[in-house]
């Protein structure tokens, strides 16, 4: 007889897989509360919440935190503009080599970060651009664009080309068509893409390492902090912050795009 339930072995294996993936994250959370600050002894001798206060008062956390927020915001904003434009162009026109161009747009996310980082670093050097916040933002924008592009181009495809023509037919100029037809229909896709891009930028390490000057973003600060045996749980507190800053946007983005057709209809 055919059974709807998976066998015990399969269920156990999937559970083990899920645990393997997510247990380490829980352990990170756990060590944010440990009273032992020099090593990660298991089990933690006792639990405390003092590290949150310590982290809050550590002056060296704030600059990387601000930098990370600023980089994520700026690169997302830049990617929103460029990604929307390129997706509009790709969705509405047909030209020779379009498939190849489309692949090129997607490449930054498929390419290993080291390659992107190296190429950006040499490019910035050739252009005599000092490594700064600006170069980090540009570096992050390369892969943020892909996220926005993917979200927007899917929505463009679903948005029948007809409505844009209908708008022009009814007397709207291109700005009015953008404002009254395109943007309301694209809104949720852009918001979702923006949230994903923000999350991606916020925890990026590799490209940042190659494009940053002296300053460090929050993930890089954490990396440096791990080798220091002082106040280790503070790093875990920051890890929780990074987790929240990236996981929440992804969760919201998921709910925004889950019922794509509905949000397209509901628009605003």
Partner 1 sequence: MRARRASNILLMSGFHMSSSVPAAVEFCSVSRHFGPTNALVKAVNSVDLTVPEGAFFAMLGPSGSGKTTCLRLISGFEKPTAGNIRIFGRDVSDIPPNRRNVNTVFQDYALFPHMTVRDNVAYGLMVKGMDRRLRESKAEEMLSLVKLEGYGDRRPSQLSGGQRQRVALARALVNEPRVLLLDEPLGALDLKLREAMQDELKTLQARLGITFVFVTHDQSEALSMADSLAVFNNGKIAQIGTPSEIYAKPRTRFVADFVGSSNVLSPKTTRLFGGPNRWSSLRPEALRLTAPDNVTLSGTVTSQRYLGTGNRISIALHGTEVSALIPAGQPLPKTGHTVGLAFDPAALHIMEDEK
Distances (CA, A) of 255 to 18, 73, 151, 190: 22, 21, 14, 13
**Is residue 205 a contact partner of residue 223, using CB atoms and an 8 Å limit?**
yes
Kindly state the tokens that stand for 233: 């749980």
Question: Are the C-beta atoms of 192 and 257 separated by less than 8 Å?
Answer: yes
Compare residues 180 and 247 and give the one whose CB is closer to partner 1: 180
> Considering the complex, what minimum distance in angstroms separates the CB of residue 172 from partner 1?
4
DSSP string, 72-125: HHHHHHHHHHHHHHHHHHHHH---TTHHHHHHHHHHHHHS-HHHHHHHHHHHHH
Six-digit token pair at 150?
């993917």
- Please confirm whether the linkage preceding 43 is cis (ω < 30° from 0): yes
Our CB check for partner 1 shows the closer of 4 and 262 to be 262
Residue closer to partner 1 (CB basis): 66 or 158: 158
Minimum CB separation of residue 268 from partner 1 in Å reads 7
Smallest gap from residue 105 Cβ to partner 1 (A): 25
Nearer to partner 1, 24 or 161 (CB): 161
Angle formed at CA 229 by CA 224 and CA 230, multiple of 5 degrees: 95
We find the least distance from the C-beta atom of residue 187 to partner 1, in angstroms, to be 9
Least Å distance, CB 190 to partner 1, is 14
Q: How far is the CB of 158 from partner 1 (least distance, A)?
A: 10
52/178 with CB nearer partner 1:
178
Cα–Cα distance between 70 and 68 in angstroms, integer? 5
Cβ closer to partner 1: 15 or 163?
163
List interacting residues with partner 1 (CB under 8 A): 160, 162-163, 165-173, 176, 180-181, 184-185, 264-268
Q: How far apart are CA 34 and CA 189, in angstroms?
A: 41
Nearer to partner 1, 28 or 159 (CB): 159
DSSP, res 47 = B
Q: What radius of gyration, in Å, describes the C-alpha atoms of the chain?
A: 23
Smallest distance from partner 1 to CB 185, Å:
6
């Amino acid at each position: 007889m055919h059974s709807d339930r998976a066998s015990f072995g399969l269920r156990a294996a999937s559970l083990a897989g899920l645990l393997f993936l997510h247990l380490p994250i829980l352990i990170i959370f756990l060590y944010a509360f440990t009273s032992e600050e020099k090593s990660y002894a298991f089990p933690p001798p006792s639990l405390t919440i003092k590290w949150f206060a310590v982290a809050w008062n550590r002056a060296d956390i704030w600059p990387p935190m601000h930098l990370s927020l600023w980089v994520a915001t700026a690169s997302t904003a830049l990617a929103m503009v460029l990604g929307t434009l390129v997706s509009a162009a790709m969705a509405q026109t047909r030209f020779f080599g379009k498939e190849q161009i489309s692949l090129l747009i997607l490449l930054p996310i498929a390419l290993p970060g080291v390659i992107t980082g190296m190429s950006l670093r040499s490019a910035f050097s050739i252009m005599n651009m000092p490594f700064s916040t600006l170069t980090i933002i540009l570096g992050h924008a390369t892969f943020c664009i892909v996220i926005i592009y993917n979200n927007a181009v899917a929505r463009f495809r679903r948005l029948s080309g007809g409505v844009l023509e209908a708008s022009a037919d009814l007397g709207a100029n291109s700005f009015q068509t953008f404002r009254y037809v395109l943007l309301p229909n694209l809104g949720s896709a852009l918001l979702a893409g923006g949230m994903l891009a923000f999350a991606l930028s916020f925890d990026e390490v590799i490209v940042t390492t190659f494009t940053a000057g002296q300053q460090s973003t929050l993930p890089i600060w954490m990396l440096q902090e791990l080798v220091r045996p002082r106040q280790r749980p503070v790093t875990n507190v920051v890890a929780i912050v990074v987790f929240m800053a990236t996981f929440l946007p992804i969760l919201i983005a998921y709910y925004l795009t889950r019922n794509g057709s509905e949000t397209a209809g509901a628009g605003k």
